[in-house]
Structure 1
Amino acid sequence: MNVLIAVDSSEHAEKAYDWYVKSLHKPDNTVFLLHVKDVPKLPTFSFTEAGAFPAEEITKIMTKHNDDVNKLENTYTVKLGQKKIKNKILMESSGGSPGQCIVDKAKENKVDLIIMGSRGLGTVRRTILGSVSDYVVHHTKIPILICPK
């Protein structure tokens, strides 16, 4: 079975991964571990303002972002290696919707199951802000397991 586990640096994602390994993993399964990278928020500037382009600040933000992504990848590489789990790590940049990226990668890699954590947004916040897990549930025909917080 091919299983896609959507992860980020949250505790919810880690718990979903841990639950899968403890409760569902079989030696023949292949895990596609997917992290959809956010584009970091960069400072704005105006050419009419006095001063230079904030290149140093942007470099600092991008370096931290890349370090965080590398740390996440290393963490899961170690976890997968310790359990000798067949895997493929996918680090993708979302052009807008992380949910759409998850749906696309699941289809592209012919996965049989998608696993993801839930941030546990309340009904009002989920309605206003949207929810990645809610998007995935409504835009794929692949079975989905959502681990609550």
Structure 2
Amino acid sequence: MDGFPKRHILISVDDSAASLKALDWALENVYRAGDEFHLFHVIPPGQYVVLSTDLGIEEVIEDDESTRKRVEDHARSILVDKFVPKLKAKDVPYQVELVRFATDNESIGAVICKRAEQLQAAAVVMAKHNKGAIKEFFVGSVCNYCTHHCKSPVLVMHCD
């Protein structure tokens, strides 16, 4: 461990190129031997999926246990397929963490901050998604919430 104590680094991710860039940046600039990365993804509860076929037919899939399991399995497969290989390639210890929670940005930010506090994370790394000024004004920003409320340092990757 090169004399350093083990640190927990919380990487807040979603299915975006920006999240992949944030992970790459953290691997190059934050990681040191002995650290453990926590890939953390929040799944909104009650997520309804609308499917559209070539015929223009739309189907709303009810939020039942089977749907929740499929959504969770899909999210886990994205993390395992896209993010985990980068960690394995550098032999970085990791945990994949999926949490189902409220859908608004403030609540998602609160969950991220709470998990960072539980881990006593040395840092939280996340990507900023450019939603536009009007949408951000009304909806808010997970990054903005975390930078103002997390007790751990928050590193925000701007992917413009």
The percent of aligned pairs where both chains have the same amino acid is 22
How far does residue 122 in structure 1 lie from its aligned partner after superposition? 2.6
| 1:16-66 Cα shifts (integer Å, max 9, x gaps) | 0111112222112111111111231268xxxxxxxxxx9x94378546523
The answer as to 2:22 corresponding to 1:12 is no
* Higher share of residues assigned strand: 2
Q: What corresponds to 1:128 in structure 2?
A: 138
Q: If you compute each CA radius of gyration, which structure gives the higher value, 1 or 2? A: 1
Q: What corresponds to 1:80 in structure 2?
A: 87
Q: What corresponds to 1:107 in structure 2?
A: 117
Q: Distance in 2 between matches of 1:120 and 1:101?
A: 21
Question: 8 Å contact 2:113–2:151 — kept in the other structure?
Answer: no
The answer as to 2:75 corresponding to 1:69 is yes
Q: For the aligned residues, what is the CA RMSD?
A: 2.4
Unaligned runs of 5+ in 2: 1-6, 51-58
SS at match of 1:84: coil
Q: Partner letter of residue 122 of structure 1?
A: G
Q: What corresponds to 1:21 in structure 2?
A: 27
**TM-score, normalised on structure 1?**
0.80
Which consecutive aligned stretches of 4+ in structure 1 deviate over 6 angstroms post-superposition?
none
SS at match of 1:145: strand
SS at match of 1:35: strand
**TM-score, normalised on structure 2?**
0.75
How far does residue 78 in structure 1 lie from its aligned partner after superposition? 2.6
Q: Partner letter of residue 142 of structure 2?
A: V
